[in-house]
Chain A
Amino acid sequence: MTRTHRRRIRPGRLVASVIAILVALAWVFPVYWMLNSSLLPNTVLTSTTPRFWPWGGSLDNFAAVFAEGTFWPALGMSLAITLTTVAFCLLFAFLAALAISRFRFRGRASFVLAVLFIQMLPAEGLFIAQYKLMSSLNLLNSVVGVSILYIAAVVPFTIWMLRGFVAGVPMELEEAAMVDGLSRTQAFFRITFPLLAPGLVASGVYAFLQAWNEFTVALVILQKEEYRTLPLWLRGFVQASASRATDWGQVMAASTLVAVPVIIFFLIVQGRLTSGLVAGAVKG
């Protein structure tokens, strides 16, 4: 599956490279703009002539954001919820994917369809019911409560993604390993699991992004300030106050801080990401 190196020099190659770089620049510009703005003072940001380079800028905005003292608790909350969601989501989805790709059973098609249709329900009208549910279960303002709602929201898509990967690993490989004297569990972890890794990574990235960015459910379920997740925290900066002007430099610094953990996560998994992303669907 690794790319073979091409030595041939095609005439269009240079043009393609230039286009690729230009597209990359266009795509990264808003990200750059966020970083650039986070280093500039508010007075510069509110002028009509854009300043394209952060020369003369400072880390003052970041210092001011950290001085609020609310970033670390929010980061902790976001990490707890996101990691819980990713872990359980992958586990549940993997089991379900195993069921629908390795077995033919009564109700299988209905299950697959139900899983697909669940993703089509708009979430904007559900918040009252979600609140009542979590209140009755005594799970308001808790990592568990939000995670349950997130897992349910993300698991359907994850099943779709993993299904192809599981189907792609031939049963025969596992069985051969068992003939060689490995137990079923050993065979699974030595043979099947490594082959599933790219799929798990791709689904994990998806689940991570969904949980990390979610706003509405968190707003309704996490009512107390000390339980805020990063999107709620960031929103607090945007809507600083009715009686104070929003400090855009600080908003951009705060936005950068919210994006950094995602980028770190991406860097850790990136090698597997590109090879694994939806490769499962191809095999499906």
Chain B
Amino acid sequence: MTVLSPTRQQAVAPEPEPRHRRPSPAPYLLLVPTIAILLLALGYPLAWQFWTSAQKFGLAQQFGRPPQFVGMANYVQLFTDPQTWAVVGRSIAFCLVNAAITVVLGVLIALLMNAVGTLPRLTLQVAMLLAWAMPVIASMTVWIWLFDWHRGVINWLLTAAGLDFTNHNWLEQPLSFYFVATVIVVWMSVPFVAFSVYAGLTQISEEVMEAAALDGASPRQRFFAIVLPMIRPVLMIVALLQVIWDLRVFAQIKMLQDAGAPTASTDLLGTYIYRLGVGASDFGMASALSIFVLVLTVALSFFYVLHLMKEDA
């Protein structure tokens, strides 16, 4: 975090006219509750995680045996294990694909909301809200059911449509497993993106669009010349959030694996941390991996964040 100290930040983005010229204690007072709760809730767990990642810490240590300090040994073991890199690679791919599909679909649906009359728009919005409101455990149960090999609706429909999908097991092959996971994750995440972008779209003035149309701009040109720049700030933020969320996707993958899948070849970072920690009781390794994931997310989003900061200042 020192990389982006205030001075550096000023160098990157010219400081706008400050509203309060003299240093005032007000902003610091306003930040006190937030900083206090973050320190209270995350301070110790974060410190514990850093400290534990440098220790041999298993179940015996949790039950009181003194842990052994091993320095970087956990990290070395982690990075020399090809399995780690396989998981990292899969997670990055899964995250980028899912975030991209989610954002594109979200934008398309928002455009659709903007293009249709009140009734279809409300129908679409209610459907999105209902999907968004479903508790994760509930929606996962339903989805696993829909994709069930023997009595799933999806196989039934595909078979009824003339394709032979009787007893097709969707979770057996990793690629097919990720396809199912993507369908579910995208289904869950699109409503948020669609509503955010739609909110942005409603702020584009009708007159500008009509003037552009009169000037002979095609819908495509209008989208790229007017709409996209207007909704860019929203897109930036939702895309960043999708990347962050999809990189550490856990519940969906874990529950799909529990429904019967080859676990080792379908693990992503979230489930891998879980397997090392809760599963193998190797809390030192699990902590090391967690910290690596933090670093990885920061790295993945670094330029993006820099850009956001520039616009923010």
Q: Are A106 and B116 in contact (CB under 8 A)?
A: no
Measured CB to CB, the closest approach of chain B to A183, in angstroms, equals 17
Q: Are B206 and A4 in contact (CB under 8 A)?
A: yes
Which residues from A are CB-within-8-Å of B16? Answer: 104
Which residues from A are CB-within-8-Å of B55? Answer: none
Q: Are B112 and A20 in contact (CB under 8 A)?
A: yes
Measured CB to CB, the closest approach of chain A to B106, in angstroms, equals 11
Q: Does chain A have a CB within 8 A of B174?
A: no
One of A92, A133, A209 near B33 (C-beta < 8 A) = A92
Would A50 and B28 be within 8 Å (CB), given that A121-B294, A275-B202 are in contact? Answer: no
In this complex, how many residues of chain A approach chain B with their Cβ under 8 Å: the count is 108
Q: How far is B187's CA from A258's CA once the two chains are assembled, in angstroms? A: 19
Interface stretch of the complex, out of A22-30, A60-68, A69-77, A186-194: A22-30
Residue of A nearest to B184 (CB): A30
In this complex, how many residues of chain B approach chain A with their Cβ under 8 Å: the count is 110
Q: How far is B139's CA from A262's CA once the two chains are assembled, in angstroms? A: 14
> Which B153-208 residues sit within 8 Å CB-CB of chain A?
153, 156, 187, 190-191, 195-196, 198-200, 202-203, 206
Would A171 and B19 be within 8 Å (CB), given that A30-B146, A238-B141, A284-B312 are in contact? Answer: yes
State the main secondary structure of chain A at its contact with B: helix
Q: Does chain B have a CB within 8 A of A243?
A: no
Interface stretch of the complex, out of B1-9, B81-89, B96-104: B1-9
Choose among A27, A125, A215 the residue with the greatest number of B CB atoms under 10 Å from its CB. A125
One of B19, B20, B156 near A50 (C-beta < 8 A) = B156
One of A25, A110, A278 near B237 (C-beta < 8 A) = A278
Choose among B128, B137, B146, B308 the residue with the greatest number of A CB atoms under 10 Å from its CB. B137
Residue of A nearest to B205 (CB): A4
Q: Are B133 and A13 in contact (CB under 8 A)?
A: no
Q: How far is B120's CA from A274's CA once the two chains are assembled, in angstroms? A: 15
Q: Does chain A have a CB within 8 A of B67?
A: no
Q: How far is B200's CA from A123's CA once the two chains are assembled, in angstroms? A: 31
Q: Does chain A have a CB within 8 A of B126?
A: yes
Contact string against A for B residues 7-39, beta-carbon threshold 8 Å, 1 for contact and 0 otherwise:
001000001101110011011101101100110
B residues near A, CB below 8 A? 1, 4-6, 9, 15-16, 18-20, 23-24, 26-28, 30-31, 33-34, 37-38, 40-42, 44-46, 48-49, 52, 62, 109, 112-113, 115-117, 119-121, 123-139, 141-143, 145-146, 150-151, 153, 156, 187, 190-191, 195-196, 198-200, 202-203, 206, 230-231, 233-234, 237-238, 241, 244, 248, 250-251, 269-270, 273-274, 277-278, 283, 286-287, 289-290, 293-294, 297-298, 301, 305, 308-309, 311-313
Q: With A20-B113, A266-B133, A273-B195 given, can you name 15 additional A-B contacts, CB distance below 8 Å? A: A24-B126, A47-B151, A88-B37, A96-B31, A96-B34, A117-B1, A120-B294, A121-B46, A124-B290, A125-B283, A127-B278, A129-B45, A234-B135, A255-B135, A282-B234
